[in-house]
Amino acid sequence: MMLSRLLASGEVKFGALLGLVAVIATPVAAADLHAYVGAGLRQPVTAIADAFEKETGNKVELEFGGSGQLLARFDEAGTGDIFIPGSLFYADKLEKQKQVLSRQVVVRHTPVLAVAKNKAGEIKSFADLARPGVRIGIGDPKAMALGRSAEDILKASGLQEKIEPNIVVRAATIKQLELYLFDGNVDAAIVSASGVAMNMDKVSLIQIPDDWYEAELVPVVVLATTKDRKVAEAFVRRLSSPEGLETWKRFGFQPAD
């Protein structure tokens, strides 16, 4: 109606009229987010991102990898909205680089010693990891959060020197490590409780004493390079909401204390 009145009055020139038509006709586009996500967090973050997209129309592009690998990718690209590593260690690094607008701890990353089912009768304790011929997998401490936890656990066990000769794999991501275990390439591995929660038919678990390691906390960081802080913060709220935490728990994660 307004457009027809302006046209009839002759007050709008043709070029300006085309611009006005374009503004009226162009819909407001939903914001897209790019999130760097630790590989071990794939299942819950994917589920929450899908729900967020359906609720808001804002697409979340997820890039997975070892937390160390993702930090290197971000440093090289210099773009992105969200960073969700498996440890505060990487959030602290981003903080030192002045790349953090906000950060929030959401859940805990708890390690366990997982043993292949066909080896459960032979490996019943950490001492059994030192037996000749046992094949062990851990994470690369330079590439992933639980790799550093595994190093701490081996030191605290008092058996590190005896166990280390049996380590045949130092994986770059928790998913790679789990596949080595599930496929029978290693007999035992220090993995996350969440990673094996959906595969208990393939492994048996040996609990690790709490005082052998410091639990890794999973933070969600809004990066200084975000193009839409409002939408990024909304996604953080969805990740830490009661509904979001229920999703985390479904995949074996526990809320951070």
Q: Name beta bridge partners: 108.
A: 217, 254
Strands 188-192 and 60-65: unpaired
pLDDT band at 133 (very low <50, low <70, confident <90, very high): very high
Q: Above 80 in pLDDT, residue 242?
A: yes
4 within 8 A of 199, measured Cβ to Cβ? no
Residue 11 has pLDDT above 80, yes or no: no
Strands 82-84 and 216-223, sheet pairing: antiparallel
Q: What pTM value is reported for the model?
A: 0.70
Lowest mean pLDDT among 112-116, 169-173, 229-233, 252-256: 252-256
67-80 tens-digit pLDDT: 889 999 999 999 99
Mean pLDDT (whole number) for 229-250: 96
State residue 110's pLDDT score: 83
User: What does the mean pLDDT of the chain come to?
Assistant: 87
pLDDT given for residue 238 in this prediction: 97
d(C-alpha 52, C-alpha 232), whole Å: 11
Least confident of 26-30, 117-121, 223-227: 26-30
Indicate if the pLDDT at residue 173 is higher than 80: yes
pLDDT band at 106 (very low <50, low <70, confident <90, very high): very high
Residue in 197, 187, 43, 199 with CA at minimum distance from that of residue 111 = 197
Q: Are 111 and 252 in contact (CB under 8 A)?
A: no
Other C-beta atoms lying within 10 Å of the C-beta of residue 158: 12
Cβ atoms 60, 235 nearer than 8 A: yes
Token couple for 130:
């030192």
Least confident of 137-141, 143-147, 212-216: 143-147
pLDDT value of position 30:
56
- pLDDT > 90: what percent of the chain? 68
Segment of 16-20, 79-83, 146-150, 199-203 carrying the highest mean pLDDT:
79-83
Phi, psi dihedrals of residue 170, rounded to the nearest 5°:
-125, 95
**Residue 164 pLDDT exceeds 90:** yes
| pLDDT of res. 23 | 38
Question: Cα separation of 67 and 156, whole Å?
Answer: 24
